[in-house]
Amino acid sequence: MILTGPEIEEQVKTDAIRISPFDSQLLQPNSYNFHLGDRIGWYTGEVLDCARENSFEEHAIPSEGMVLEPDRIYLASTHEMIGSDCFVPIIRARSSTARLGLFVHCTADLIDIGSYGQLTLQLHAVQPVKIYPGLQIGQVTFWVPQGEIVLYTGKYQGSIGPQPSLVHRDFEAR
C-alpha cells in the first residue's frame, strides 16, 4: 500500500517519516518531490572494478548549471535527508525530469527501511542535459511493509553527499 501525500505529511508530523528540510508545498497526491543537492561526482577510471575501490572525484554543481554527458554515470545526492523506520521509501525521477531523458536512479530505487540520510542518485543522461543545484529532480513514495521490520544498519547509513560504491567491501569480507 502506498501512502497519499496527506498521509506522508501526517507521518512526518509523528516522525514516522523523516524528511529534512520538509516543505508541504512539495507534497504530491502520493509522493514528495525532492531536490538535487549541490555536489556531484563521477568515477575517473575507464573500467570500473567491483572488487576494488574505484577512483572517484566530487565537485560542486555550479549555480549556473552543469551539463551531464551521455555514456557516464554521475553520482549526486538529494538536498533533503530522507528515511523512515516504519515505511519503505522508493525514489523515482519526476516525470518532467524523465521527459528530458535524465535517469535519476538507474536501478537502485529502493531505500531500505531504517536508512536515513541524503540519498545518492545515480544520474544518467540520454543526451546532454543541464542540471542545477536545488533542481526538483525526483520524488519519493512511501510503502507499508508487511512482516517483521528489520532496520537497515549498512555501509551507507547516515550518508551526506554523493556516495561512491562500496561493493569492494563485500570482497574484503570473504
Tens-digit pLDDT profile for residues 91-135: 999 999 999 999 998 778 889 999 999 999 999 999 999 999 999
CATH classification of the domain holding 43 = 2.70.40.10
The boundaries of the domain holding residue 84 are 5-172
Looking at the structure of the chain, the number of domains it has is 1
pLDDT band at 173 (very low <50, low <70, confident <90, very high): low
Output the 3-class SS for the chain: CECCHHHHHHHHHCCCEEEECCCHHHECCCCEEEEEEEEEEEECCCCCCCCCCCCEEEEECCCCCEEECCCCCEEEEEEEEEEECCCEEEEEECHHHHCCCEECCCCCCECCCCCEEEEEEEEEECCCEEECCCCEEEEEEEECCCCCCCCCCCCCCCCCCCCCCCCHHHHHCC
Residue 44 has pLDDT above 90, yes or no: yes
Rounded to two decimals, the pTM is 0.93
Residue 151 has pLDDT above 70, yes or no: yes
